[in-house]
């Protein structure tokens, strides 16, 4: 598996960029490497006016892993400002599962990426 750790950092980078774009000023990241893969915990506040944008997160993160998209485009993660929801598709293509909880201006994400 090439650049596995680098890919994890780009996922976190893209999520950080996304939450900055929706008004976050308080984020928590926790990454745990286990025998089956990487578990990423990400929690952040956001501007309540951006609720609808944040609600798209789960939809885009749970589309299933797509190795061919990952390998072709993972280098894009974290590049530039967050502009479009389609940028989250790339994270979705790089993870095996995602649990997203959103309530009152706060989002909690549990992502898993198998080796």
Question: Of 35-43, 46-54, 76-84, 95-103, which part binds another protein (CB under 8 A)?
Answer: 76-84
71 CA to centre of own chain: 16
Q: Which of 52, 83, 103, 104 binds another protein (CB under 8 A)?
A: 83
Toward another protein, which CB reaches closer, 41 or 58? 58
Helices (H), 1-115: 4-21, 51-61, 67-73, 86-94
Contact segment (CB under 8 A) with another protein among 26-34, 40-48, 83-91, 98-106 equals: 83-91
The set of residues, in sequence order, having a beta carbon less than 8 Å from that of 67 and lying 6+ positions away, is none
Contact in structure between 115 and 37 (CB atoms under 8 Å): yes
Token pair of 45 as six digits: 């506040």
Min dist. Cβ of residue 110 to another protein (A): 22
Q: Which residues bind another protein (CB under 8 A)?
A: 1-2, 20, 63-64, 66-76, 79-81, 83-87, 89-90, 93
């Amino acid at each position: 598996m090439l650049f596995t750790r680098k890919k994890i950092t780009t996922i976190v980078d893209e999520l950080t960029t996304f939450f900055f774009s929706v008004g976050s000023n308080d984020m928590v990241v926790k990454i745990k490497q286990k025998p089956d893969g990487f578990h990423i915990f990400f929690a952040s506040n956001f501007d309540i006016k951006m609720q609808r944008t944040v609600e798209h997160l789960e939809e885009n993160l749970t589309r299933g892993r797509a190795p061919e998209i990952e390998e072709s485009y993972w280098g894009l993660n974290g590049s530039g400002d967050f502009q479009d929801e389609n940028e989250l598709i790339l994270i979705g293509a790089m993870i095996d599962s995602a649990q997203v909880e959103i309530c009152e201006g706060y989002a909690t994400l549990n992502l898993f990426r198998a080796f």
